[in-house]
Structure 1
Amino acid sequence: MSPRQKVLIVDDEPDIRELLEITLGRMKIDTFSARNLGEAQALLSRETFDLCLTDMRLPDGTGLELVQHIQQRHPQVPVAMITAYGSLETAINALKAGAFDFLTKPVDLTRLRELVSSALRLPAPGGTGIAIDRRLLGDSPPMRALRKHIDKLARSQAPVYISGESGSGKELVARLIHEQGPRASQPFIPVNCGAIPSELMESEFFGHRKGSFSGAIGDKPGLFQAAHGGTLFLDEVADLPLAMQVKLLRAIQEKAVRGVGEQQETVVDVRILCATHKDLDAEVAAERFRQDLYYRLNVIELRVPPLRERRDDIESLASHVLKRLAISTGQPAAKLHPQALEALKSYRFPGNVRELENVLERAHTLCENKQIEASDLRLAEGNCNPEGGVPDLTQIDNLEDYLENVERNLILQALEETRWNRTAAAQRLNLSFRSMRYRLKKLGLD
């Protein structure tokens, strides 16, 4: 028989301690109680715990001090903070300090049991490194730091804002945070916020009842319901219209949603991860993104480095892509000529890893004798200066061709970001759909 798991309860109110002890006892969990910060630290030095539940206000300190103490000396122990109702700022500070999650008083016992069960499923710190290494390639310092942050954030339920340029791998990072955490067995639901028509957003996110609007031929659950128990990844969250931002904020705060045509709210247990290639601070300053939603989503920011900041990884990434292409086509893997590799390393890659994959796929098709020459890469000359800045005019033979190449790359990037939704890509480029259609035809992309 495996040993029972142990939870440390820290609260100066006897009634709260007793309630938590009885509830956890019924879950077959052993509990130890402390009335203040000093008693908690003494117990932590003597016993090994699987979880700590602590009140925010203690007679001789705060729960935040206990979170910081545990982070420094007992990082394997997840901590959940118990705060007064409405103390959202306190809860967010706790999550930033490293708390696993938080509860509000009066304690909802169903929510308590869900939180405890989730925390007790956490893997040991650092135990997910091999799995992350296999998915997130590269051994440069920025990538080693990113993997370390993913491992830490997987042990939390805090909302994470994943920032980074288009094509840098933000969705992969979100998936890894989900897959290495306690929600791994539950759904991971990604949604591109920029690809959903504004009139359908409420229905897509929260669901609808049959007959609630024209075309609603049956009941349909929304994305929040689909992600219940798991993770909802809001990609390109900055593209949400302001009216939808208000509804999203309420859903996150209340942990409940109301579908179109529904009378009652449905409780949902969802971890929110979000990403955008835009500068959210600038969007808030321009009043295109609500500040209250920004603070709720951006509890912890995780930056994904662009490919130009980790040029040392290009060789291993290229090798991996070429091997994958060989397997998919059933042919021997193509080799990169040294000059082709140097060309890749000196290229700025505005489309990041996604652009590298596209460049190599095209070169793999065009090359002769399974040898990729620099000319097979067909890199845009304007982005071949590793230091950036203005393109060297002596390298531009034909201005029309150069500008056409830049236009083609920007349109392809917008199409890739919107998963080839032409309407959404046109909006991203500030073009009318008619103008977008004309340019696609002109560039041979239709």
Structure 2
Amino acid sequence: MSSPRILVVDDEADLRELLEITLVRMGLDVDSAETLREARAFLKENSYALVLTDMRLPDGLGLELVREVAASYKSTPIAVVTAYGSADNAVIALKAGAFDYVSKPVVLDELRVMVQSALRLSAPGPDAAAATPPSRLIGGSEKMQALRAQIGKLARSMAPISITGESGSGKELAAREIHAQSTRAGKPFIAVNCGAIPEALMEAEFFGYRKGAFTGAADERDGFFQAANGGTLMLDEVADLPLAMQVKLLRAIQERRVRKIGATVEEPVDVRIISATHQDLAKCVENGKFRQDLFYRLNVIELALPPLRERLDDLPMLADAVLARLAPARQAPARLGPGVMDALRAYSFPGNVRELENVLERALAFAADGVIEVGDLSLKAARPAEQRVPAAALVPPAPPPPHPVSAQPEVAERGAPAVAPAAARPSLPHVPDTLPSDLPAYLEQVEREIILRALAQTQFNRTQAAQLLGISFRQLRYQMQKLDIQAPE
């Protein structure tokens, strides 16, 4: 079996010879070209496991070759050699489709690591097995299919990725998916919440420290970069980093080296950076909260996650997955009762998939025999004002009792459309003639008053009050805690 073949494109004879010798000693076959024209001729005649090109060539730019290889030789990774300090060129090349880059003067150990990653990518072996498990991103909607396809492409590159999306949309899951499908799958994945680290400890946490570097440093310790060496480092909520730390992070990313606190020399680290935030980083740059150069460095490739309200077709699959995860703890299967899925589809889920998980877990606590009913969902308190689902759809009314002061008809009528005839409207004195400007707060106040009336009517007997309102005792207790309703002393 022939050895993998590498194409080196560089007009500097000394550097070209150094690259050739290094690659041959790695057991690889090497072709060399001095110009773009020669490189294109080699590409037409041979199949390469990696193309390594300088950025400046006698008859053009290596960037042209990057674009051509990315477009016409998609199974061939291409890396660039950039001049020292030319971080901007590296970013441009990565955006154009480069697999990775090395800086001049070339550090041979870094070159070997990059070449080995490219070889695993072009000829998958045992390390690629981790890329084949079922996706962590559940859903069959068009948006999710497109997202998974995009992740499959991004996993082939070493370029930094910026994941954007609302809170609870699954940014860390997407980052783990990228890592799992990459050649780094067998190495560590380290996720860091940048907003949860005290500013005084950030440098030590990210870069580590030597023994005796400061008071309390009893032993030497690695930081996040060393822990993720060879793998992926996810910087979650990266917008929360203070400006002073942003400067140090930028240097570590550009130079691929870090210095522990108390150390005199830097050490190389090989990590792929994935950043994530629910904030608009571009606006943070405009407001002076985030460095433009760091934003430019992190935002090489942007991956946007859709909110749950834009992929409601995925709700059945997501709900099944959540209930399957919760079932082992309950020793019994859980399922959704009639109308529950319709109620979920009508909700906007401002907290996205994380909120869906919380809603179902809470509902399961209220459910009888593991069957979640519509009344167990308790979505009203979180419902945005623009939602159209009536409150009555979430707490099904029992048949109205004959007593005129019963709260149950009022609950049912509260969910009636705004255009209902005047005769059908509830007789509560606080019902306004105009639409409320804050529907969640208004519904919460109505719910509070109705529960208080039911409790007063039953002398604060919660079991009887729950029966009167047609809900379970546990749900009434939960609503009382949420609304801070306490029995009189």
| TM-score (normalizing by structure 2) | 0.77
Aligned to 1:154: 155
Deviation at 1:229, TM superposition (A): 1.4
Within 2, Cα distance between the matches of 1:230 and 1:397? Answer: 45
Deviation at 1:385, TM superposition (A): 6.7
Within 2, Cα distance between the matches of 1:38 and 1:281? Answer: 40
Over 3 Å counting, the alpha-carbon distance change for 1:252 and 1:349 in structure 2 is same
Aligned to 2:72: 73
Residues 1:110 and 2:109 are matched in the alignment? yes
Aligned to 2:85: 86
Within 1, Cα distance between the matches of 2:440 and 2:230? Answer: 57
Within 1, Cα distance between the matches of 2:22 and 2:95? Answer: 28
Query: What secondary structure is seen at the aligned counterpart in 1 of 2:274?
Result: strand
Deviation at 1:78, TM superposition (A): 0.5
Deviation at 1:340, TM superposition (A): 1.0
8 Å CA contact 1:348–1:385 kept in 2: the answer is no
Over 3 Å counting, the alpha-carbon distance change for 1:86 and 1:369 in structure 2 is same
Deviation at 1:335, TM superposition (A): 2.1
Query: What secondary structure is seen at the aligned counterpart in 2 of 1:275?
Result: strand
Alignment of 1:43-442 (within 5 A): 43-122=42-121, 131=132, 133-332=134-333, 334-380=334-380, 383=383, 393=435, 396=439, 399=442, 401=444
8 Å CA contact 1:129–1:147 kept in 2: the answer is no
Within 1, Cα distance between the matches of 2:194 and 2:18? Answer: 42
Within 2, Cα distance between the matches of 1:182 and 1:404? Answer: 54
Within 2, Cα distance between the matches of 1:402 and 1:230? Answer: 51
Over 3 Å counting, the alpha-carbon distance change for 1:360 and 1:397 in structure 2 is closer
Within 1, Cα distance between the matches of 2:213 and 2:284? Answer: 33
Aligned to 1:26: 25
Query: What secondary structure is seen at the aligned counterpart in 2 of 1:135?
Result: coil
Within 1, Cα distance between the matches of 2:439 and 2:386? Answer: 17
Query: How many percent of aligned residue pairs carry the same amino acid?
Result: 56
8 Å CA contact 1:193–1:234 kept in 2: the answer is yes
Over 3 Å counting, the alpha-carbon distance change for 1:377 and 1:182 in structure 2 is same
Within 2, Cα distance between the matches of 1:101 and 1:402? Answer: 58
Deviation at 1:186, TM superposition (A): 1.3
Deviation at 1:400, TM superposition (A): 7.6
Per-residue displacement from partner, 1:105-128 (whole Å, max 9, x unpaired)? Answer: 222212111110111111679x99
Over 3 Å counting, the alpha-carbon distance change for 1:192 and 1:66 in structure 2 is same
8 Å CA contact 1:382–1:402 kept in 2: the answer is no
Over 3 Å counting, the alpha-carbon distance change for 1:104 and 1:397 in structure 2 is closer
Deviation at 1:44, TM superposition (A): 1.8
Q: Which runs of 5+ in 1 are unaligned?
A: 406-439
Deviation at 1:45, TM superposition (A): 2.2
The structure whose Rg is larger is 2
8 Å CA contact 2:233–2:273 kept in 1: the answer is yes
Deviation at 1:310, TM superposition (A): 0.9
1:267 maps to a residue whose letter is P
8 Å CA contact 1:76–1:124 kept in 2: the answer is no
Per-residue displacement from partner, 1:271-290 (whole Å, max 9, x unpaired)? Answer: 11111111111111111111
Within 2, Cα distance between the matches of 1:95 and 1:260? Answer: 31
Within 1, Cα distance between the matches of 2:217 and 2:26? Answer: 43
2:339 maps to a residue whose letter is Q
Over 3 Å counting, the alpha-carbon distance change for 1:94 and 1:402 in structure 2 is farther
Of residues 50-59 and 71-80 in structure 1, the stretch that sits farther from structure 2 once superposed is 50-59
1:196 maps to a residue whose letter is I
Aligned to 2:469: none
Over 3 Å counting, the alpha-carbon distance change for 1:154 and 1:350 in structure 2 is same
Per-residue displacement from partner, 1:18-60 (whole Å, max 9, x unpaired)? Answer: 2211110000001122222232222222211111111112233
Deviation at 1:99, TM superposition (A): 0.3
Of residues 21-30 and 106-115 in structure 1, the stretch that sits farther from structure 2 once superposed is 106-115
Over 3 Å counting, the alpha-carbon distance change for 1:150 and 1:38 in structure 2 is same
Aligned to 2:406: none
Query: What secondary structure is seen at the aligned counterpart in 2 of 1:355?
Result: helix
2:356 maps to a residue whose letter is L
Deviation at 1:231, TM superposition (A): 1.3
Within 2, Cα distance between the matches of 1:130 and 1:297? Answer: 24
Over 3 Å counting, the alpha-carbon distance change for 1:386 and 1:136 in structure 2 is farther
Query: What secondary structure is seen at the aligned counterpart in 2 of 1:19?
Result: helix
1:283 maps to a residue whose letter is C
Query: What secondary structure is seen at the aligned counterpart in 2 of 1:32?
Result: strand
Deviation at 1:213, TM superposition (A): 2.5
Within 1, Cα distance between the matches of 2:148 and 2:339? Answer: 31
8 Å CA contact 2:66–2:78 kept in 1: the answer is yes
8 Å CA contact 2:81–2:104 kept in 1: the answer is yes
RMSD (Å) for aligned C-alpha atoms: 2.8
Deviation at 1:402, TM superposition (A): 5.8
2:444 maps to a residue whose letter is D
Within 1, Cα distance between the matches of 2:310 and 2:248? Answer: 37
Deviation at 1:143, TM superposition (A): 1.0
